[in-house]
Amino acid sequence: MMSLLAVFFLLLIFGFLFWWLVIETEGVYLGRRMVIFLYDLYASRYDRVKQFDEHADLMLISQPIMACIQPQADPLILDVATGAGRLPLIMARNGCFRGHVIGLDASRRMLDVAWRKVAAERFEGYITLMRHDAGEGLPYDDDAFDVVTCLEALEFLPDPQAALKEMCRVLRQGGTLLTSIRIDTRWMPNRTWNDQKMRCELKALDMRDIRIEIWQEDYSQVWARKAGECEPIGAGARDQVLPSPHQVAIP
Ligand SMILES: C[S@@+](CC[C@H](N)C(=O)[O-])C[C@H]1O[C@@H](n2cnc3c(N)ncnc32)[C@H](O)[C@@H]1O
């Protein structure tokens, strides 16, 4: 009887650890390779599981981005951890958008899913997808982009603080940053930040006009503007930032 109980408790502990390390926190405490491996594994089911509402994304992501940068209509945008291409696609679907989005991700299979959608909608002229591990920094010059985004992903990057610093570095002065923070921070200690911590991090990076707004069930949106002003970069500059020898363009 005692040994049956011991086996039961061991299974319970094992089950909990598996749920926490692999499902709930998607491998972040097992290292970046595990995170990327799990996203590769999960890529073909990502959109089905997430069931993003395209209309809501247009209203809450793409239109506010266009409003932030107006009168510019041709922003050069960097989307870090672009996944299955959610942000690039909703920007390209926006009738006012004349810009270009570079979507970076470390998971080849997530990028494959994204690229199939880009090609199906004939958005190749608006979107470039690159395979790159954001944990190794961003391979762009300072002040290279009008807008930098990173949605539902900061907590999965190897060092969220260093990643945020890189995003602000490559954003031009006066440019717009859009990222997100998890609302429930219980299960991801040292990875997820509350509103106060996010504000502190952004202020330390000389970001202004910080707004944190409840967005989805799990996430708040974080908007900020880089201090200073400079001329818009524009989509025409994409040839100067692409390609870099250690990146792999998709396809
Ligand atoms: C929850 S998904 C978010 C995708 C997309 N931003 C969205 O809103 O649907 C997290 C993404 O982060 C990517 N990722 C995880 N670690 C990464 C890393 N070190 N460098 C680049 N991308 C990474 C994963 O491959 C995955 O596509």
226 touches ligand 1 (CB under 6 Å):
no
Task: Output the pLDDT for position 245.
Answer: 43
Q: pLDDT per residue over 136-183, tens digit each?
A: 999 999 999 999 999 999 999 999 999 999 999 999 999 999 999 999
Tokens of 71: 């009168």
Question: Which residue has a Cα nearest atom 25 of ligand 1?
Answer: 107
Give the pTM. Answer: 0.93
Q: What is the pLDDT of residue 246?
A: 43
Mean pLDDT (the chain) is 93
Is 39's C-beta closer than 6 angstroms to any atom of ligand 1?
yes
Burial of 4 (C-beta count, 10 Å sphere; 0-12/13-18/19+): exposed
Task: Flag residues of the chain having pLDDT under 50.
Answer: 245-247
CA distances from 111 to 89, 114, 129, 131, 155 (A): 13, 5, 7, 7, 19
